């Protein structure tokens, strides 16, 4: 079997919170138990939302938890040439086209919203509309984004945790963005290009990205990037209202608890409890988690962050 490689991939759009920490910890425990190589990638392409210093804070928080990885750290913001090359390949194949639609245009066209984030299925308005980017910009007065053809076929995702899921991209998202009008690669394309070049073949992340796996498989096939990775999509940590953990549930940042003096052993204990390793909340060590972690005992449903969890951490 070829070497197994995974990646930790925080996005510096804000500080890591307890839900992020649980997913990264599961990834790390799987990697250490199964002897995967661990890479680190900072996904810093979402420029308007990127917060200065958040990358350093994320790396420091993960190191504080006891996670280790190989250096150097890869920053997506340094990879523009590779993404442009991939886009050029899609355009030459006739699989990508310029799009000048705004979010409002798409909503007015009657796209159907999906899921909590109200993602709208693109109605393919600009498919076949322009001969190229120059015409699109001349007629619209703004630089175009680039979309990839979703294709009519269903994409199957055989997930190691979530099981088999099938996505008809034409219905769930339509032709999706691979390059923004700002000239930056979109998330889906950047992730696919980086994973392939780094030979990542084990991807562990939260299950709100399960549909993204289908989009990424589609792109890998179009780009001819070889065998698809194995996916492990982990249920989210949610608040008492059932929505994924966020600011609306209070301050759950790792840096917040660190500033209060919470010992790392206590935070690992809560995460271990959430991962089915410990029967109750108590302090623990990374060594104990590595010895006792069993991916088969992960809770199959979302984990709820409660006031009791907060009181345990604060002590």
From 5-14, 41-50, 222-231, 281-290, the region with the lowest mean pLDDT:
41-50
For the segment 49-64, what is each residue's pLDDT rounded down to a tens digit? 889 999 999 999 999 9
For the segment 150-200, what is each residue's pLDDT rounded down to a tens digit? 989 999 999 999 999 999 999 999 999 999 999 999 999 999 999 999 999
Q: At what angle do helices 264-274 and 307-314 cross, to 10 degrees?
A: 150
Q: How far is CA 298 from CA 5, 152, 187, 245, in A?
A: 22, 35, 28, 18
How many CB atoms are closer than 10 A to CB 132? 11
Confidence of residue 46 (pLDDT cuts 50, 70, 90): confident
For the segment 218-229, what is each residue's pLDDT rounded down to a tens digit? 999 999 998 999
Secondary structure class of 189 (helix, strand, coil): helix
Cα 109 from Cα 119, distance rounded (Å): 14
Q: Token pair for residue 51?
A: 């917060």
Q: 5 with 198: CB under 8 angstroms? A: yes
Where does 132-242 have alpha helices with state H? 133-140, 169-172, 187-197, 210-223
Q: Name the residue with tokens 């500033």.
A: 259
Give the chain's length.
315
Q: pTM, whole model, 2 decimals?
A: 0.94
Cα 32 from Cα 25, distance rounded (Å): 10
Residue 234: name the closest of 203, 200, 266 by CA: 203
Cα 185 from Cα 192, distance rounded (Å): 11
Where does the chain have alpha helices with state H? 18-34, 54-65, 80-92, 103-108, 133-140, 169-172, 187-197, 210-223, 254-259, 264-274, 286-292, 307-314
DSSP bridge partners of 176: 148
How many CB atoms are closer than 10 A to CB 77? 16
Domains of the chain (ranges, CATH numbers): 5-78+235-314 (3.40.50.620), 80-190 (3.90.800.10)
Q: Name the residue with tokens 């002590």.
A: 315
Q: 247 with 293: CB under 8 angstroms? A: no
Q: Token pair for residue 236?
A: 């989210």
pLDDT value for 13? 92
CB within 8 Å of 259: residues ≥ 6 apart: none
Residue 8: name the closest of 198, 212, 284, 164 by CA: 198
Q: 121 with 173: CB under 8 angstroms? A: yes
For the segment 89-121, what is each residue's pLDDT rounded down to a tens digit? 999 999 999 999 988 877 766 543 344 444 678
Cα 144 from Cα 141, distance rounded (Å): 9
Confidence of residue 298 (pLDDT cuts 50, 70, 90): very high
What would the 3-class secondary structure string for 125-160 be? CCCCCCCCHHHHHHHHCCCCEEEECCCCCCEEEEEC
């Amino acid at each position: 079997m070829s070497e197994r490689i995974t990646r930790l991939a925080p996005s510096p759009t804000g500080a890591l919170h307890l839900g992020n920490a649980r997913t990264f910890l599961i990834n790390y425990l799987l990697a250490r138990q199964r002897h995967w190589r661990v890479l680190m990638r900072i996904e810093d392409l979402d420029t308007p939302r990127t917060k200065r210093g958040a990358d350093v804070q994320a790396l420091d928080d993960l190191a504080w938890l006891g996670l280790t990885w190989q250096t150097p750290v890869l920053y997506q913001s340094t990879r523009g040439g590779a993404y442009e090359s991939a886009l050029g390949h899609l355009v030459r194949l006739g699989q990508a086209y310029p799009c000048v639609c705004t979010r409002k245009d798409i909503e007015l066209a009657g796209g159907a919203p999906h899921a909590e984030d109200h993602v709208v299925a693109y109605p393919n308005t600009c498919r076949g509309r322009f001969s190229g980017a120059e015409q699109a910009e001349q007629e619209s007065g703004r630089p175009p984004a680039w979309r990839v053809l979703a294709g009519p076929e269903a994409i199957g995702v055989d997930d190691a945790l979530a099981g088999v899921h099938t996505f008809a991209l034409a219905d769930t998202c339509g032709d999706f963005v691979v390059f923004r009008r700002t000239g930056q690669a979109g998330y889906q394309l950047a992730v696919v290009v980086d994973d392939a070049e780094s030979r990542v073949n084990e991807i562990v992340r939260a299950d709100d990205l399960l549909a993204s796996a289908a989009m990424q498989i589609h792109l890998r096939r179009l780009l001819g990037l070889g065998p698809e990775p194995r996916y492990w999509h982990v249920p989210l940590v949610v608040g008492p209202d059932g929505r994924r953990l966020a600011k609306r549930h209070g301050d759950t940042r790792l840096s917040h608890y660190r500033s209060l003096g919470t010992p790392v052993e206590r935070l690992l204990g809560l995460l271990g409890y959430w991962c089915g390793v410990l029967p109750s909340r108590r302090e623990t060590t990374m060594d104990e988690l590595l010895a006792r972690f069993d991916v088969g005992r992960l809770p199959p449903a979302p984990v709820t962050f409660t006031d009791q969890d907060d009181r345990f951490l604060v002590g």
